Amino acid sequence: MKKRLLFLTVFVFVASVANAQTILGVDVSHYQGTINWTQVAAAGKVFAYTKATEGINYTDNTFSANMTNGNNAGVVMGAYHFARPETNAAADEANYFLSVASSTITTGHMPPALDLEDPPSGTGLTSYFTSSALTAWVQTWMQTVQNQTGIAPIIYTSSSIAAYLGSSVNTYGLW
């Protein structure tokens, strides 16, 4: 069962002095079942990412309910896509994600996110791809989403995969 607690640091600049504040959020999918979003908000979680899609043909069956119920509870919501670069083209995955989640990629929501992890099979992405090939895949996904929505996505990944990616994706936020 996949559970993660997210920490987002926001920097507020006042009179040229930076102050950091930790803002808590959650990452959810069908693995968490039905979520009591009122309890999530009451526990101080300000934002949440909910899984929308995976690959080119899987839509998380809790996506719509999580987006609606999270928003209704006052949690700032965002959609994420679980990447399967070892089996699909980046543009195909981006277009599938957009076909499901584009209505949630607007002002007032978290930016869309690409969840880039090693496949569940256990074989690492670095075994499937050279650094430049994986970087190109990620860049294509990110640009496809940004070109169609006008909003720059962010990347959720491990530090080792982030280090493996080329610098061309450094313009995107890292979660």
- Beta pairing partners, 26: 5, 48
- Give the whole-angstrom CA distance, residue 153 versus residue 142: 6
d(CA 172, CA 175): 10
Active site residues: 27, 115, 117
Strand partners, 18: 13
List, as one string, the DSSP characters of 94-127. HHHHHHHHGGG-STTSPPPEEEE---TTS--HHH
